[in-house]
Amino acid sequence: MKKLLSVLLALSMLLGCVAFASEDDWDTEAYLVEVVGQDYGPAAETPELRDAAGTNGAVVSGKGEASEVGIAVLEAGGNAVDAAVATGLAIGYFEPNASGLGGGGFMNIWLADEQRAVAISSQFPAPMNVTEDYFAELFDEDGNIDNEKRAEFQASGKSVSIMKALATYQVALDNYGTMTLAEIMPYVIEACQQGIRVTQNFKSLYDSSYSKLIKSEGSQEVWFKDGIIPYELDEVIYNEPLIETFEKIAEEGIEYFYTGELGQKIIDAIQADGGVMTMEDMEQAMTDVLVIEDPVEVTYRGYRLYSMPLPSSGGVILGEILNIMENVDVASMEHNSAEYIHVLSEAMKLAYADRAEYLGDPAYVDDELVEALSSKDYALEQYNKISETPNLDPVAGNPYANEGPNTTHISVIDKDGNMVAMTQSINSHFGCGITVDGVVLSNGLMSFDLEPGHPNSIAPGKLSLSSMTPTILLRPDGTPMLVSGSPGGTYIIACMAQTIINLVDFNLPITEAVYSPRVAGTDGGKTRIEGRLDQEVIDELTEMGHDIEITKDYDPNMGSSNSIVVLDDGTYHGCGDPRRDSQCAAY
């Protein structure tokens, strides 16, 4: 405790926010108010364009430095899969708060020569030693969740899920790439030498994660100057241990991470902090990667969309929203008018209610239910529930009557038209806070329903439900139009629906489709709206009876649509979302 107080004292004096003469004067509450969680605003108050265009390839990711790594691999002759893996490794370095080797995610691939989509899932599995009452300690005597206990749990080794990101990269390269991991890694390592610049967005998330990062010796080594002092805006963090880990993986293969020296270090760190993961879990993760030959396929006004199946709810629920909206003459409406936002938010509410009620690990969900949720007939039934009065208490529908989810996103397209949409995560910002040899471990087990008896409740080896929605969209003639996706938890799906509708129905250019103010009907009966929306529209929605919550003008929690469109002349025009630090690179 004395060491921690010394850490906090040095920190407060450095930042100049709260000055104390000695440890006896230390006021933790004052520190928390003044420093931790301080709002540094969006990535940009008046965002500059984050777009780029080219005819040979384009990459969009959460950081420009990572996007450039992908372009370097494309220029070296790699394909979209090679570039996506390289960018995925690099983004784990440059955006460590969002993803990395300690997490997982989903990869959606369009194979141009074969004219088909394939998907790879590396979503968070639970260790085999968990039990159905694994979260019992988080509830009080009355059966209510104790938020303080939950905060402690999710910032500990108890919350770490099995990490499959690296195994997924290996499977993708082996089956669909042209380069090896050893050939890709030098491009990643070279870029990482420049370090991580502390941006406004990063600083806000970094400060709010202070209390869990400072508990881990590995995190102290990497994320604080002299092991105690946080970095400030525009300073540079060098994660040398992760670079060394990359070098070891290049030399020894993924076995070094899963069954070798690093794997044992990871398990030791997890178990020392109360976790139950074992080396057997790590070994299984290395070989048990789910390749999905038939990802979710949905049509919207003749356009064909491919996205992720369960355990991601993204493809199913995005499909349900678009199927409902297909019953609406959206093109006749004014973009972001009260009329349009009303019907869109109502469609979202209905679809999200279904998500909460029905979806989870595909091994625990009826295939016929998923098909029913994705059907046009069910969408029409849902559409008919929408009236002029907002639904403030949406409930799940009955899909059987019509029988017959902190993240980051990468989009890549190469010169041959191969596309990769890849969303990956360590769940919360900086995961559980534990860092081992530069690798931040996730707290992915918190993606499960904490109560037993639900479709998304925890069980040994079970996959948690996700909202990650890496998406590929083809024109009615079958040619590529869009590769896209977003971070943002449950708001991902709402973000993706608006990106697609903005392009297809409103015919907006990609920059405007991404930058436009967003809405989300994802929180029960509430409608969240970015503050940039016309005040007259907000007033009209309020008069209609909507329960409105105004968010930041460029709210990073409303998704970050990292998208590339293929223009009619074949040019690739990509755009990074200004709500975070995203950037496109192209050549």
Give the active site residue among 168, 407, 471, 551: 407
Domain ranges in the chain are 2-34, 36-587
Instruction: Give the chain's mean pLDDT.
Output: 90
Query: Is 270 annotated as ligand-binding?
Result: no
Q: What confidence category does residue 193 fall into, taking pLDDT thresholds of 50, 70 and 90?
A: very high
Give the number of other Cβ atoms within 10 Å of residue 477's Cβ. 7
407 catalytic, yes or no?
yes
The residues, any chain, with a CB within 8 Å of residue 159's CB and separated by 6 or more, are 153, 275, 432, 442, 443, 444, 445, 446
Render pLDDT for 169-188 as a digit per residue (tens, 0 to 9): 999 999 999 999 999 999 99
Bigger pLDDT: 207 or 406? 207
| Residue 460 identity (one-letter amino acid) | P
Q: Is the pLDDT of residue 158 over 50?
A: yes
Q: Is the pLDDT of residue 9 over 50?
A: no
pLDDT of residue 38: 53
Mean pLDDT of 305-312: 93
Residue 299 has pLDDT above 50, yes or no: yes
Answer yes or no: is pLDDT of 22 > 80.
Answer: no
Specify the pLDDT at position 5: 39
Bridge partner residues of 524 (DSSP): none
Tens-place pLDDT, residues 322-359 = 999 999 999 999 999 999 999 999 999 999 999 988 88
- For residue 23, what pLDDT band results from cuts at 50, 70 and 90? very low
For strand 526-530 and strand 547-551, is the pairing parallel, antiparallel, or unpaired?
parallel
Give yes or no for a contact between 273 and 434, defined as CB atoms under 8 angstroms apart: yes
Task: Give the percent of the chain with pLDDT over 70.
Answer: 90
Residue 32 CB contacts under 8 Å (≥ 6 apart), including other chains: none
C-beta separation of 441 from 432 below 8 A: yes
For residues 144 and 146, give the distance between their C-alpha atoms in angstroms, rounded to a whole number. 6
pLDDT for the residue 28: 37
For the record, the structure tokens of 4 come out as 């921690």
Q: How much is the pLDDT for 283?
A: 96
CA–CA distance, 421 with 485 (Å, rounded to integer)? 7
> For residue 216, what are the CA distances in angstroms to 205, 282, 475, 514, 523?
17, 21, 49, 37, 34
pLDDT surpasses 70 at 18: no
In whole angstroms, what is the distance from residue 298 CA to residue 374 CA?
Answer: 8
Confidence of residue 32 (pLDDT cuts 50, 70, 90): very low
Quick one: pLDDT at residue 119? 97
Instruction: Tell me what the mean pLDDT of segment 197-204 comes to.
Output: 94
Q: Binding site annotation covers 427? A: yes
In angstroms, rounded to a whole number, what is the distance separating the alpha carbons of residues 560 and 488? 7
- The per-residue pLDDT for 399 is 60
pTM here is 0.90
Phi, psi of 575 (to 5 degrees): -145, 130
From the CB of residue 318, how many other CB atoms can be counted at a distance below 10 Å?
29
* CA pair distance 558, 562, nearest whole angstrom: 13
What local confidence, expressed as pLDDT, does residue 27 receive? 41
> What is the predicted pLDDT for the residue at 401?
41
